[in-house]
Amino acid sequence: MKEINLASVVSVKRKEKKITQDGLANYLGVSKAAISKWETAQSYPDITMLPHIATYFDITIDELIGYEPQMESTEIKKLYHKLSHQFAKEPFDIVHERCNVIIKKYYSCFPLLLQIGILLLNHSMLAGSTEKTQKVIEQDKQLFERVKSETDDVHVAKQALYLEAYCCLMQNNPAEVLVLLEGTDTLSMSNRGLFAQAFYMMGNIPKAKEKIQMQIYENIVEMFGAFPMLFTLNTDDPVKLDECVERALALEKIFAVKRFHPAIVITMLLSAAGTYATINNKEKTLELLEEYAKVSASGIFPFKLHGDEFFDMVDGALANLDLGTEMVRSEETVKQSMLQGVTLTPVFQQYSNDVRFKSVVKMLESI
């Protein structure tokens, strides 16, 4: 919690009402000297007087003392996953209203506001209609803009900026994205690499290994996140598209990505299948959908971020992520999305009567 700020609140509110210290003192039955000491933080009013002062200024006691509730990172993590599970089991509007109450209560807890915004983005498709989804996205955009503008945490501000830009994309406003991101498109060295070099020079090999492993792990995740757009950009060149998909699949095989992060693999496979479907390559589409279903049904639940035999020193760093190692959406919501990613995607409907396609759907339904 931030320090009590009653002094400035009393001073500002008194001046807003155009009341002198004498006038306020007479109303409260105290001396002018007492008011002066309150406003200069030399002393505080008796606790029993707080309701009277708050009533006089027509504010809450929390507002009077400048109380801005905060939430620790562990509490934010627990709350996020609790609400995520509620979105899977309860009507969207009910859980959304709970989020709004939390936003209002913790309006100055910027790390929490950031995660609540991410939570709403990750579940906005459950809103019930395109119009309602867009309203949630607009709310998120405003929330991220506030966090970006008000927080003192550079890391949180940077995340908020990128998420605000993402909201603009979802609102079909690419021009605003470019304005928001102007000046940020520069190459930068990962600080994990610097940490690794420093620990190595100090002779702390285990820590150096941990940092460099985590850098490679993050780079792989980032690359897989970029593949869907790469595929889309090469729909006009089937040969180049084949090469892009083949390299993505080869990278997965080299690092056995599906063993430690199957979520990014199935996202890549579904995207590749969708891209081939847009150019009417039925064989490649069904081949990739079959692999998508196979990985999805390979016992990946309950899914948590983790390392493997190669990335054997990253689990500690993963546990310290803002939302920990659990999925950002509940297991039920993810399974539903995995199925709907095939059955509700228009470009796949041309294959809906194909035996192989039906087999894919059946496998996904059984998860």
Tokens found for residue 113: 């506001």
What average pLDDT is seen over the chain? 94
Position 62 scores a pLDDT of 81
CA–CA separation, 337 and 285 (whole Å): 19
Position 187 scores a pLDDT of 55
DSSP character for 14? H
The half-sphere exposure of 161 on its side-chain side, counting CA atoms within 13 A, is: 16
Residue 177: partners with Cβ closer than 8 Å, 6 or more residues away: 165, 168, 169
Mean pLDDT of 205-215: 96
Q: What is the percentage of the chain residues whose pLDDT exceeds 70?
A: 97
Instruction: Give tens-digit pLDDT for 130-152.
Output: 999 999 999 999 999 999 999 99
Q: Give the three-class secondary structure for 17.
A: coil
Give the pLDDT band (50/70/90) at residue 184.
confident
Instruction: Give tens-digit pLDDT for 13-37.
Output: 999 999 999 999 999 999 999 999 9
Position 154 scores a pLDDT of 93
Nearest to 273 by CA among 258, 292, 260: 292
Nearest to 111 by CA among 137, 76, 69, 83: 76
> Model's pTM, two decimal places?
0.78
Adjacent-strand bridge partners of 304: 326
